[in-house]
Amino acid sequence: MTKNLHVTIDKDSGFCFGVVYAIDMAEEILEEEGYLYCLGDIVHNDEEVARLKAKGLRIIGHEDFIQLKDEKVLIRAHGEAPETYKTALENNITLIDASCPVVLKLQNRIKTSHDNDEKILIFGKHGHAEVIGLQGQTNNEALVFQDITELDNKELPASFTLYSQTTKSVSKFYEIKEELIRRGYEIKANDTICRQVSNRYEDLGDFARQYDKIVFVSGKKSSNGKVLYDVCKQANPQSYFVSDVAEIDVTQFNTNETVGICGATSTPMWLMKEVKQALEQL
């Protein structure tokens, strides 16, 4: 017997413009030349990466990049540290720079702060590609933290400049700013969070409340996906995280329920459509 689920995809979910830009660039070159190197996963979504690999995208790490010569290499939306551009010049590598404009603007602001001898703190995820690129603007001198508790036993300068990874929560950023001021530090705070991402928080909560169940589709590596999934879960406790169709648990759904599908800024629309189709066939 069919479950007769009524499934709707959130029209605001799916790739942000930075990811669309990088993927469009990659597909154009793949069509012309048959292959293209990309420094790191082009997007934090294994299914989309697999689709592009099948078209000839070759994902490489920094250790491979250093060995490469006379090739074209795509820089993804997350951006890169200055060292990468230096290596490209030395190895005659043509960089196809698809760094997100929001990230580039942030990199420039951090570099200016560093050049002005400001002490810099970055609220961001340790080891995240974007954060590595941001730290690179400061010769890796900036202090990165992903939770304020990490600063509890750290000796911080009396005054510093605070920045944020572009995909962090706006409210969390301001909570951190207020707490640091309360602790007596003099802070110059720069809200550098991408509004295309942060606007989704509010809209997503509204979307999640409209349905019996929510299926949130995202790659497990997406930090933005984790934040947005939490937003769904808070608005609707009956929210489930899946990376692909295979992870759908039939037992979680009852007959005639309404189901909302949404995803991270790194979730392709084609994948959400596949999930919708699978749910409709239950």
pLDDT tens track for 116-153: 999 999 999 999 999 999 999 999 999 999 999 999 98
Looking at residue 280, its amino acid is E
Cα gap 275→272, rounded to integer Å: 5
Residue 13 has pLDDT above 90, yes or no: yes
Per cent of the chain over pLDDT 70 is 100
Copy the structure tokens of residue 112.
Answer: 């200016």
Query: What is the rounded distance in angstroms from the CA atom of residue 200 to the CA atom of residue 206?
Result: 10
**pLDDT given at position 223:** 79
Average pLDDT of the segment spanning 264-282: 95
Is residue 224's pLDDT more than 90?
no
Spatial CA neighbour of 183 closest among 156, 217, 164 = 156
> pLDDT at residue 1 above 80?
no
Residue 171: name the closest of 93, 90, 230, 89 by CA.
230
Alpha-carbon distances, residue 166 vs 25, 149, 191, 192, 265 (angstroms): 22, 21, 9, 6, 12
Q: What is the pTM of this model?
A: 0.89
Q: Which of the following is catalytic: 130, 150, 186, 274?
A: 130
Is 28 annotated in the active site? no
- CA proximity to 144, closest of 169, 167, 127: 127
Given this model, what pLDDT does residue 197 score? 83
Least confidently predicted of 56-65, 68-77, 176-185, 222-231: 222-231
Domains and CATH numbers, the chain: 6-14+196-280 (3.40.1010.20), 17-99 (3.40.50.11270), 102-193 (3.40.1010.20)
